Amino acid sequence: MNRFHVAAGILRDSTGRILITERICDGPFDGLWEFPGGKIADGETPTQALVRELAEELGIEVAMSRPFMNLHHEYPDRIVDIEFFFVTSWNGAPAGLEGQGLRWVLPSDLDPEILLPADVPVLEALRA
């Protein structure tokens, strides 16, 4: 079974909305939404991966971030360990550089059914 170590960012705007991105892929998760981020490469720290992934996916430069929570999730075909960070300051306006949709939503208004299953505990923590 494949195992992935991932860094993901939680961006929050001045009104309390969080940014989610649409997943575009050839697989069972196509069309679901997630917190932006991606795989941590060999030799990268989670923070370095976060900075790289958000630059590649959203075109932003992370200025400040802090750890939020770590999750372990087992899917039928893969295991993911995700390190989530609050991105508290960034330069640039987020855009879907890979063709993915972006949405700013209040955690209270976000339907967990549209999220990747591994991201649902983060939404619950944000609502608490």
Tokens of 115: 């999220």
Q: Which residues are CB-contacts of 119 (< 8 A; sequence separation ≥ 6)? A: 8, 33, 34, 35
Distance between CA atoms of residues 122 and 128, nearest Å: 10
Q: How many CB atoms lie within 10 A of CB 31?
A: 11
| DSSP code string of 16-60 | S-EEEEE---SSTTTT-EE-SEEEPPTT--HHHHHHHHHHHHH--
pTM (predicted TM-score): 0.94
Helix-strand-coil split of the chain, %, nearest 5: 25, 40, 35
Q: What does each of the 128 residues of the chain score in pLDDT, given as a tens digit? A: 899 999 999 999 999 999 999 998 777 788 899 999 999 999 999 999 999 999 999 999 999 999 999 999 999 889 999 999 999 999 999 999 999 999 999 999 999 999 999 999 999 999 98
Distance between CA atoms of residues 78 and 87, nearest Å: 27
Which residue, chain included where needed, has tokens 């890979």? 98
For the chain, what are the domain ranges?
2-127
- Sort 66 into a burial class: Cβ within 10 Å, 0-12 / 13-18 / 19+: exposed
The CATH architecture that domain 2-127 belongs to is Alpha-Beta Complex (3.90)
